[in-house]
Structure formats: C-alpha cells, structure tokens
Amino acid sequence: MGVVAISRELNRLGIKPRKAEHWKGTRIHKMITNPLYAGFIRWGGETAMGIHQPIITQELFDTAQKTLRERNHKTRQLRSPNYLVRLVKCSLCGAPMHVTYPGTEPRSRFKYYVCNNRYNHKSFKQDYIRADILETSVI
C-alpha cells in the first residue's frame, strides 16, 4: 500500500491520529521516513544512534525506505497521460488535483480532475472538472 492508501484505511477503520481529525498521506510518509522508530535520532542535519529502544528493526526501516524510493510518484508522473496533474490546484483549498473516473462502472466514460482533499478525505465540495474540457482549454 502507498501512503495515501494507508491513510484512507486508517481513516476508514476510525483510527485517529493524536493531533488531527484524520490521517493524511504526508503524515504517514513522515512517519515511515523517521529514523526515530528504528532507534536513531536526528540533530542538526545528522543522524546518530539514540539511547531509546527502537520500535522497529533496522531491516524493516530499510525495507520501507527502499519501497518508498521504488514507488516514487515523480517517476510515475512522467509516464502519466494526464497532462495537468500536479499543475492544477483546487480553487477552494489550493491542494493539487488529480485524475479520477467517478461512477459505478469500473472505468467511467469520462475522466475528471478532482481536489486531493475532496478525494482523500471527502472534506471539500469542490466540483469535479471534466479532464477533456480542462485540458483543451489550457492547450
């Protein structure tokens, strides 16, 4: 699972973060990349062995870092046929918009750009924007 899928699953299960209303992919990413859980501390841009008991093994931490590198979204984005992904922002909250195929069919007839906050957390009512119309307007 990617960080967004993990955040969705935690939210679906009703598991709340300590200091927020719901989980976000960015928070999950920060947790996965934090060496504190493997027994290290960061100070002044350097990482050193801590005196605390690690929660996970170094091997598990390294595996998570490798998986994150392999799933790098920037690499996937370069192959994306959706030209405006990462360029179009939500007019209500400023979050990036991505492409989705809403509807009950496996692949709806039209693709749409949708605000990440609306898609991930159902917290905004920004309208879906048909991708073909938006892309033609921009081009």
Alpha carbon 49 to chain centroid, angstroms: 29
pTM equals 0.53
What's the one-letter identity of residue 28? I
Which one is predicted more confidently, 138 or 60? 60
Residue 40, beta-bridge partner list: 49
How confident is the model at residue 78, as a pLDDT? Answer: 47
| Ordered DSSP codes for 57-116 | -HHHHHHHHHHHHHT-HHHHHHT-S-TTTTT-B-TTT--BEEEE--SSSSS-SS-EEEEH
- Give residue-wise pLDDT tens across range 16-75: 999 888 898 889 999 999 999 999 998 888 989 999 999 999 999 999 999 988 877 555
For the 3-77 domain, the top CATH level (class) is alpha beta
122 — pLDDT class (breaks 50, 70, 90): low
CB neighbours of residue 49 within 10 Å: 11
How confident is the model at residue 64, as a pLDDT? Answer: 93
- Give residue-wise pLDDT tens across range 68-90: 888 775 554 445 567 677 788 88
- Give residue-wise pLDDT tens across range 100-121: 877 655 555 778 888 877 776 6
∠ CA 119-98-81 to the nearest 5 degrees? 145
Pick the closest to residue 90 from 116, 66, 72, 64 (CA basis): 116
Domain extent listing, the chain? 3-77, 79-138
Buried b (16+ CB within 10 A) or exposed e, 86-122: eebebeeeebebbbeeeeeeeeeeebbbbbbbbbbbe
